[in-house]
Amino acid sequence: MKPEAVNTITPDQLRIGLYIHLDLGWMDHPFTFSNFKIRNEGQIAQIKALGLKQLRYDPLRSDCEPAESLPAPSPTPAVVQNDVQPPPVTDDIIADAPEEDFETRRLEELRKAVHECEHKFAQAANTIMRIEREIHITPPKSMAEAHALVDSMVESLLTESDVVLHAMNDRRGMTEQYSHSLNVTVLAMILAKSLDMSEEEVRHLSMGALFHDIGKSQIPDRITRKTDPLTKSELALIHEHCLFGAKFAENFKLAPRVGQIILQHHECIDGSGYPGKLKGEEIDRLSRIVAIVNTYDNLCNPLDITAAMTPYEALANMFSRQRAKLDPSILKLLIKSMGVYPPGSIVRLSSGDHGMVISVNPSKPLRPCVMLHLPNVPRKTPMLIDLGEEASLSITQCLRPNQLPKEALEYLSPGKRISYYFDKEPPKVGQ
């Protein structure tokens, strides 16, 4: 990395457009970063109020040159009645100047949104674990819980004009089986919202996604959880899980379209899938949606976690190597909804800091929310940055976790598996 061309200036030389460095601790100034581009007169006033005698600026990242330095005062001051007074603090400048706690309040809103989503994720995760453990023991109770969960998720999805997809830090030790069911359901619902589906279709899609692998409960764990290559007979038995699942849907009197999703979620549009070798439009659209998000989650969260791809790698793999098997319009929608850097991605920012993408609004996929590794910020209260509101920052690179410095890896602590949930768009500060 090339060294920055940093020069020193005095506070009276500050101008809008200068990229400056504050050599202060994060808690010693009111700004999000110690290095940033000045956006308004209010920020200049705040910097001057810090009492610094000099500060550094980066000419290569600035939009302008510093202002001329004011001349030193005369050593023999004379009494002059018409001294030039500093410009008055106008209403415009006051309006431009962020309140000292503006950044704090915005950060609190982001943290609150993450915590609320984690709580909802935990409730849904616990419900799914209970359903899949007890579905064959207390069928009516478990099915009622499944319908209640789907109803709640569908209502949340459809009543909010904007939803945000979050990467969850699962502290409850969900196995890949339960995590996979929830991930496929959440991602399928995100696509459903983008496709403006009817409420009935969203319910069918959600129920089919939730139970898409229920047929595997009829297959021994030694086969379904095997990480070594399957034998020919084992693979044939695995392929039967779609038929077993469809029979489950019929026995539990689920809607015919739900059973169709469960039956068809491994079909491919080129006819290479199973169990029916169906092609193109022969496969129900809802089944094609589940097939795509199922593929994505299997790449990110495989049984053999050492073979896991990053979210970025998974989308790239699907587009470059599996495009012929997947519905192209739905695949493009998934990529658009997840963004170039999907939740769970480890990234480097234009500031040089490392971070982890924790959420993305499908309607604004290029400006996600990122948790930053800042050594002087406690891990319990990390810095969260909404790139939609930080125009001077951008993501420059996606990394694998093992490419992070040790300190950043321990701080960001990306999980071995990625879980997802959605929630409403957090309110903007001041709204």
Mind listing the domains of the chain with CATH numbers? Answer: 1-69 (no CATH), 107-341 (1.10.3210.10)
pLDDT at 171: 55
**Greatest distance between any 2 Cα atoms in the chain:** 101
CB 336 within 8 A of CB 328: no
Q: Is the pLDDT of residue 146 over 90?
A: yes
Of 6-10, 18-22, 105-109, 353-357, the least confident? 105-109
pTM for this structure?
0.79
- 39-98 tens-digit pLDDT: 888 889 889 988 898 999 988 888 899 988 766 555 555 444 445 454 554 545 444 444
Q: Is the pLDDT of residue 18 over 60?
A: yes
Angle at 245 between CA 292 and CA 136, to 5 degrees: 130
Taking residues 20-25, report their average pLDDT. Answer: 82
Q: Give the separation between CA 86 and CA 97, rounded to whole angstroms.
A: 18
Q: Give the separation between CA 216 and CA 222, rounded to whole angstroms.
A: 11
pLDDT at 177: 65
Q: Give the separation between CA 363 and CA 164, rounded to whole angstroms.
A: 9
pLDDT at 34: 75
Q: How many CB atoms lie within 10 A of CB 386?
A: 22
Q: Is the pLDDT of residue 162 over 90?
A: no
Question: Residue 102 carries which DSSP code?
Answer: H
How many residues are present in the chain? Answer: 431
In the three-class reduction of DSSP (H, G, I as helix; E, B as strand; rest coil), residue 366 is classed as coil
Question: Residue 339 carries which DSSP code?
Answer: -
- Structure tokens of 199? 């409420």
Q: Which of 307-316, 371-380, 411-420 has the highest mean pLDDT?
A: 307-316
Q: Give the separation between CA 330 and CA 195, rounded to whole angstroms.
A: 9
Q: Is the pLDDT of residue 35 over 90?
A: no
Q: Is the pLDDT of residue 431 over 60?
A: no
- 106-140 tens-digit pLDDT: 778 888 888 889 889 989 999 999 999 999 999 99
pLDDT at 3: 47
Average model confidence (pLDDT) for the chain? 87
Q: Give the separation between CA 375 and CA 382, rounded to whole angstroms.
A: 10
Q: Give the separation between CA 233 and CA 304, rounded to whole angstroms.
A: 21
Q: Which residues of 137-148 are buried (b: 16+ CB within 10 A; e: fewer)?
A: eeeeebbebbee
- Structure tokens of 106? 């915005």
Q: Give the separation between CA 403 and CA 411, rounded to whole angstroms.
A: 14
Of 20-24, 245-249, 342-346, the least confident? 20-24
pLDDT at 275: 98
CB 335 within 8 A of CB 319: yes
User: Which is more confidently placed, 195 or 380?
Assistant: 195
In the three-class reduction of DSSP (H, G, I as helix; E, B as strand; rest coil), residue 18 is classed as coil
Q: Which of 15-19, 46-50, 56-60, 354-358 has the highest mean pLDDT?
A: 354-358
Taking residues 365-372, report their average pLDDT. Answer: 91
- Local confidence band at 262 (pLDDT 50, 70, 90 cut-offs): very high
- 197-236 tens-digit pLDDT: 999 999 999 999 999 999 999 999 999 999 999 999 999 9
Q: Is the pLDDT of residue 285 over 90?
A: yes
Q: Give the separation between CA 150 and CA 138, rounded to whole angstroms.
A: 19
Q: Is the pLDDT of residue 363 over 90?
A: no
Taking residues 222-251, report their average pLDDT. Answer: 96
Q: Is the pLDDT of residue 430 over 80?
A: no
Taking residues 179-195, report their average pLDDT. Answer: 95
Q: Which of 160, 185, 113, 261 shows the shortest CA–CA distance to 419? A: 185
